[in-house]
Chains A and B, each alone.
Chain A
Amino acid sequence: MTVGAPGAALPTADTPTAMLDVRNLRVSFETRTGVVTPVRDISFRVAPGQRVGLVGESGSGKSLTALALMRLIHPPGRVGGQVLLNGRDVLQLGGRELAKLRGGQVAMIYQDPMSALNPVQTIGHQVVEGIRIHMNLGAREARDRAAMLLTDVGLRDPLRRMKSYPHEFSGGMRQRVMIAMAMSADPVLLIADEPTTALDVTTQALVLETLMRMVEERGSAVILITHDLGVAAGFCEDIQVMYAGRIVERAEASRLFRHPVHPYAEALLRSVCDLDVNIAAELPAIAGQPPLPSALPSGCAFHPRCPYALDICRTVEPAPLRIGAGDAMAECHLAEERVADAVASGDR
């Protein structure tokens, strides 16, 4: 276990497997009352084909992280740090290279397919357009590829459905179209921002299955952004928990759910209400409210809500602590002893 300097990137031996290497990513906005920084120097890596969940509550900075990775933060917002995709810094790319990257090597799916699709163009037109931009295909070949992709995501009779407009589709079908568009150029990385949050729960399960199959077939890596720990648990190999603009813990999904190290991750997991929750007992809740980026507490940002907080937590920001193998880490003054407790209790 190694402890790094506060706020610094994780001390890592440069493993060759990192396809995406995010270093000290920072998103800040200048406001009338000063600079606020909703994403505070986060670092993480994604291996080829790896599915990583970015879990947090509203205001934690998870969506801004996604936008920053795609260079979609516009002034007055500012982005700092490095986003290395196969060694090239996305934050330094010129306009043309960036256009090739978006929808090509890196694709994105958003929460609301209705606002991501153009309501006055047919589904077919929109799917074909993306394919022609990124794949250098003729009109006919592009149409065939579009039909194939739409069949792949579960649309029956795709040639007929391609003549439909978005409003003629149900929410789940629209999100399937978004998946087809995102996967049309076989991206190495898919960023999915709350892709099923607007869907009904039965539809959500079906759409997630389709998404899983599509990315597995292509070997695409995924960053899945969600507030729903259950969705992340079912889809991701690794999970990163965000709080107040920092990644406070990263762990393999199964380890995180059995032995969360960070007290916030633990509290978040406990407050999930699922079908097995004890009806007779009170639901475990986290006291207080998540902090605003403009009014962060001193020291560890979670300390006012943390049941284990010590004096040091109020004054000193904790440094990331690597845990075991891989990229697992936690940012908590108590991490070392909490890991030891987990070891003592027979885990790992």
Chain B
Amino acid sequence: MTSLAVDSLRPPVSVPAADALVVVEHLVKHYRTGRSQVVRAVDDVSFTIRRGQTFGLVGESGSGKSTVARTILRLHEPTSGRVIFDGVDLQALAPDALRRQRRSMQIVFQDPFASVNRRKTLSEIIASPMVFQGERDSHKIQARVSRLFDIVGLPQAYAHRHPHEISGGQCQRVGIARALALEPSFVILDEAVSSLDVSVRSQILNLLKELQRELGLTYMFVSHDLAIVRYMSDSVAVLYGGRIAEVGPREGLFERPRHPYTHALMGAVPVADPDRQRARKRVLTYETPGEAINLAGCRYAPRCPIGQSLDVCRTTDPALQGMGAHHLVACHFPQSAESIVAAAAAASHAQ
């Protein structure tokens, strides 16, 4: 096992430059809370998103996944680190240039109703990015809006309706249409289907995949739902406590997960079949009393069946190390589910 410690100049997943649309390098976002307290929402996160692919970012609440998403778009300013979009360093851009750049980077939010202006009609909502970017030709805008209604499967008759007159699933179609209005190359989907009911959620996921194929879009799919991330993504990063616990191509990560947290997440996804549910492998995880995160060593150590009782996990931060083609894991004991269970038993025995 070779240790590929994070190099300060090079992102850990090496992708040919021409293939990379978004390169995130050592992104850090700290928030000051109170006089001396600092929340390390995102703490040295690096990854590369390839053109035309979907990069999944999965994590539980507080993992930093939404902060990563918003910092990439510079909706929040990063504390340090860089985001290179299509060869352009976004941090170096002046406000005007950034606004022009944002035409090609869009976001769809979780709550479809909270992210639209309720006093506008659906057609005004979808037209707003074009108006904001300075488009004045109303015929051109109308034609584009009408086309977008078709693209996302909204009836043209809804053009003059208001958000309260449509359902959550339809309103999310409006959010998607608005994100596509400026013909972006990159769309961040931040929990974009999480507030939708099962039957409607599948419609929207199918729509998103179809749009990607037809428009050649690159997605970053942010979600707490591992199963949906697996369905949507080509590569996946598992975030815990502001750090990447594990990152890699979908097949490798889901077939051979290495981080105890990834194992715990996979084992905890409810399966809609009582027989299959019983047959599943479960890797233990613990629950901490508060929201405390271990800052000295591995972020996950307090909840980890192995790390809980081992000094090295509590005191030494594990670096991302290579486990095969582009598959990286930040764990002192990267292994299979069976050996985690065995190692945990041994560790607690030794204690």
Contact = CB atoms under 8 A, between A and B. Distances in A.
A283 interface: yes
Interface in B226-271: 226-228, 230-231, 250, 254, 264-271
A263 B287 CA distance: 39
B197 A205 contact: no
A282 B287 contact: no
Given A233-B273, A273-B227, A274-B272, A283 B202 contact: yes
Interface of B is mostly: helix
B167 A275 contact: no
Nearest to A59: B197
Nearest to A205: B268
Interface stretch (B44-52, B101-109, B137-145, B288-296): B288-296
Interface in A284-329: 284-287, 289-290
Nearest to A237: B274
A11 to B, nearest CB: 29
B200 interface: yes
Interface string A133-169: 0000000000000000000001110000100000011
A230 B198 contact: no
Q: Contact size class for B?
A: 35 or more
A2 interface: no
A90 B248 CA distance: 56
B60 interface: yes
A230 B291 contact: no
B277 A234 contact: yes
Contact of A290 (B199, B230, B250, B274): B199
Contacts of A202: 60, 264-265, 268, 285, 287, 303
A230 B277 contact: yes
B153 to A, nearest CB: 11
B29 interface: no
Contact of A275 (B200, B206, B227): B227
A290 B197 contact: yes
A270 to B, nearest CB: 9
Contact of B277 (A200, A233, A269, A277): A233
A289 B287 contact: no
Contact of B198 (A168, A229, A282, A289): A229
B275 interface: yes
A257 B290 contact: no
Contacts of B267: 205
A17 interface: no
B184 interface: no
Nearest to A236: B274
Contacts, number: 141
A230 B228 CA distance: 14
Contacts of A282: 206, 209
Nearest to A156: B289
B203 interface: yes
A170 B272 contact: no
B224 interface: yes
Contacts of A269: 272
User: Which of A154, A155, A170, A254 has the most B CB atoms < 10 Å from its CB?
Assistant: A170
B315 interface: no
A9 interface: no
A231 interface: yes
A279 interface: yes
A228 interface: yes
Nearest to B199: A286
Interface string A219-233: 000000001111101
Interface string A12-33: 0000000000000000000000
A47 interface: no
B271 A233 contact: yes
A343 B199 CA distance: 27
Nearest to A239: B274
A276 B277 CA distance: 12
Contacts of A229: 198, 270, 272
A276 B227 CA distance: 8
Contact of A257 (B272, B282, B303): B272
Contacts of A272: 198, 272
Looking at B198, B202, B230, the one whose CB has the most chain A CB atoms below 10 A away is B198
B199 A273 contact: no
Given A275-B226, A283-B202, A289-B167, A230 B287 contact: no
B334 interface: no
Given A202-B265, A285-B203, A289-B200, A279 B230 contact: yes
A275 B61 contact: no
A256 to B, nearest CB: 9
A257 B265 contact: no
B227 A200 contact: no
Given A200-B224, A233-B273, A273-B227, 14 more contacts: A200-B61, A201-B270, A202-B268, A203-B60, A233-B271, A233-B274, A268-B199, A272-B198, A273-B231, A275-B226, A275-B227, A275-B254, A276-B271, A282-B206
Smallest CB-CB A-B distances: 7 pairs: A230-B270, A285-B202, A200-B60, A286-B199, A57-B197, A283-B202, A229-B272
12 contacts: A57-B200, A156-B289, A169-B290, A170-B288, A228-B270, A234-B271, A254-B274, A272-B272, A275-B230, A279-B231, A285-B200, A287-B203
Interface of B: 60-61, 167-170, 197-203, 205-206, 209, 224-228, 230-231, 250, 254, 264-277, 282, 285, 287-291, 303
